[in-house]
Structure 1
Amino acid sequence: MYKLVNILLLLFYFGLMPAQHTTPLWKKNAIPNFQKSKGKETIPPRDIIFIKNIQQPGIEAFLPSKQSANGMAVLICPGGGYSGVSYDWEGTDVAKWLNSKGIAAFVLKYRMPQAESVLTSYKAPIQDAQRAIRYIRYHAQEFNLDKNKIGVIGFSAGGHLASTLGTHYKKAYYNAKDDIDKEKIRPDFMMLIYPVISMKKGITHYGSRKNLLGETPSEELITAFSNELQVTENTPPTFILHAGDDPAVPIENSIKMYQALVKNKVKTTMHIYPTGGHGFGLGISRKDAPDWANLATTWLNTLNNHLLESK
């Protein structure tokens, strides 16, 4: 009886806690590249919140206090091999860290390419990411942001999505719906953490490529979404982090992206650690993983000063 009372009290307590609110990116009948299906969003039992088969893409806002805010914002693209979204591990946990540095954060719940509700696989994630950064810019005043200091961070396959956002900004992957879509798509900076970058054989993470482009993609699609090939001098400043012993996403992804950025004279910082494996999030979960948050904080502070000077 005592245990039952305690459980009921805990349930009551957590029921009173304010829930975070995920804002839909599109009106229900206006989602591009979408068809009705029997698909339902699921969260399999795991030690992290891993959301599969997302039907309604959205963003969850995490805002620092006005006294702490520095005007910067980051759209967070969690990883998951384009099969799901590691929502807390590479999403909300990262948002809380950014908030502690005075930076607003928005966690993206993006559609999976192979969902039965998606018509053209490779378009769905980038459509959601492009809409998300436009949404943030459109509401910049409401969120206490400088709309010229809005970047993106992505982990693993989310790193591929982030790098797609940062290299495919000349093309909108959906038709404009409203005034939100008048905002620019290009992020002001990118942070790519153990990212998938290339779709080329021998470099890519095959599971991410298969989920995004299908079993037998055309050479045209492979080239288009090998983002190291899409870098130009206008690609935004970039922070890259990878472990040399990554067993899932070969380090060549980050190296080739770094080389392309340097070749195009884009301001770039890259950190390669000898150990860490893959999927280490903020790097505080195990001894051999890089504890990289301080390095990223220094980079963000320097970038913020540079963005201020260039205004």
Structure 2
Amino acid sequence: MKKLKKSTLAIVLISFGMSAQDTIMPLWPKAIPNQIKSEEKEKIEHADDGIIWISNVQEPTLEVYLPAQKSMTGQAVIIFPGGGYYGLAYDWEGIDIAKTLTARGVAGIVVKYRLPWSKSITGGKNVVPLQDAQRAIRLVRENAEEWNIASNKIGIMGFSAGGHLASTLGTHYNEKVYKRQDEADDLSARPDFMALIYPVITLGEPSTHTGSRASLIGEEPSADAVDYLSNEKHVDVDTPPTFLLHAMDDEAVPVENTIMFFEALRKHNVPATMHVYPTGGHGFSLALQDEKLKDWIHLLFDWIAHLD
């Protein structure tokens, strides 16, 4: 794996019990915005289904997987795992995806982002995940040359609540939600493309995922708070090209989320591809055990390969 440049702060190499090597770097070189130190501890545990579940995120990071240099396409995808803004399905919708991308020559970069319900978050809970998302894409752009990534071929990908965060970044990338810390913050936070997989898009009734909404903006949010992060309302002509995937029988996040976002993209003439499967439910990730769904990732690879 190609090494990070020496100027990167506090790089550490760790493993969550998986065989693939990875490089992990902190998002914030100085104080983490909207956060205080507390006795709260980050938790890494295995759920009953074996998925590595991270909660109480205290130190947001990038986990970088790079393909072999000879197979690199120059493209990168920054990945936001889901978990209802309460936790992160870190391997299932993060590391597994990154490894799959690298096998096709695309850098896969997993973001361990902060969760707004954490006691260490002091304020602006609704924008804390967006702070981490903006910082993540700027750091990737800063390191693009070192990692053999084209700075204009950096996309994002999110699953479920991670899809909400990705669509938030794709529609709110120009907003100043934290104070500048270094030169990376002078770079654009606009993704070059987006892949939203069974995403939460709206925070409005009746189609929202109530758990994600409660975690992000509370049990009784104001109408303004709902509208601000109902991302179908913030699409414009500069929203990045988008790949959308959902199952019709998703009982956790209704397929209307994907349809609403597609319609908003179409209205503004933003290139978009939408795939809706009749079955599959929610949270299927790569769907390797589902004969009807398991090839969806190849549709994504084909779409990425033919982006302008």
TM-score, length of structure 2 as denominator length: 0.91
Q: In 1, distance between residues paired with 2:108 and 2:290? A: 25
**Residue deviations 1:242-282, cap 9 Å, x none?**
00000100000000000000000000000000000000001
**1:112 lines up with 2:112 in the alignment:** no
Matched, 1:37 2:44: no
CA distance in 2 between counterparts of 1:263 and 1:19 reads 43
Contact 1:276 1:290 in 2 (8 A): no
- Return closer, same or farther for 1:88/1:18 CA change in 2, 3 Å cut-off: closer
- Structure 2 unaligned spans of 5+: 1-15
Corresponding residue of 2:281? 277
Query: Which is higher, the Rg of structure 1 or of structure 2?
Result: 1
The match for 1:182 is 186
2:210 corresponding residue in structure 1: 206
- How many residues are treated as equivalent by the alignment? 290
Query: Which has more helix, going by share of residues?
Result: 1
| Structure-1 separation of matches of 2:208 and 2:284 | 19
SS at match of 1:240: strand
Runs of 4+ with deviation above 6 angstroms: none
CA distance in 1, matches of 2:294, 2:222: 37
Distance 1:290 1:232 in 2: 32
Per-residue Cα deviation, 1:65-123 (whole angstroms, up to 9, x for no partner): 11111111110000000001111000010001111111111100000010001122111
Structure 1 residue corresponding to 2:195, chosen from 179, 183, 191: 191
**Residue 294 (structure 1) aligned to one of 271, 277, 298:** 298
Q: Distance in 2 between matches of 1:290 and 1:19?
A: 25
Of 126, 131, 134, which residue of structure 1 is paired with 2:130? 126
Gaps of 5+ in 1: 1-13, 307-311
How far is 1:21 from its partner?
3.0
1:212-255 deviation digits (Å, cap 9, x = unpaired): 01111111110010000000011000000000000100000000
Q: What one-letter code is carried by the residue in structure 1 that aligns with 2:23?
A: H
User: 1:30 Cα deviation (Å)?
Assistant: 1.2
SS of equivalent to 1:44: strand
| 8 Å Cα contact 1:275-1:290 kept in structure 2 | no
Alpha-carbon shift at residue 36 of structure 1 (Å): 1.6
Which of residues 17, 23, 26 is equivalent to 1:24? 26
| One-letter amino acid of the structure 2 residue matched with residue 155 of structure 1 | F
Look up the match of 2:246: 242
Q: Distance in 2 between matches of 1:191 and 1:19?
A: 25
Could you state the TM-score of these two structures normalised by the residue count of structure 1? 0.90
One of 67, 71, 76 as aligned partner of 2:74? 71
What SS is found at the alignment partner of 1:43? strand
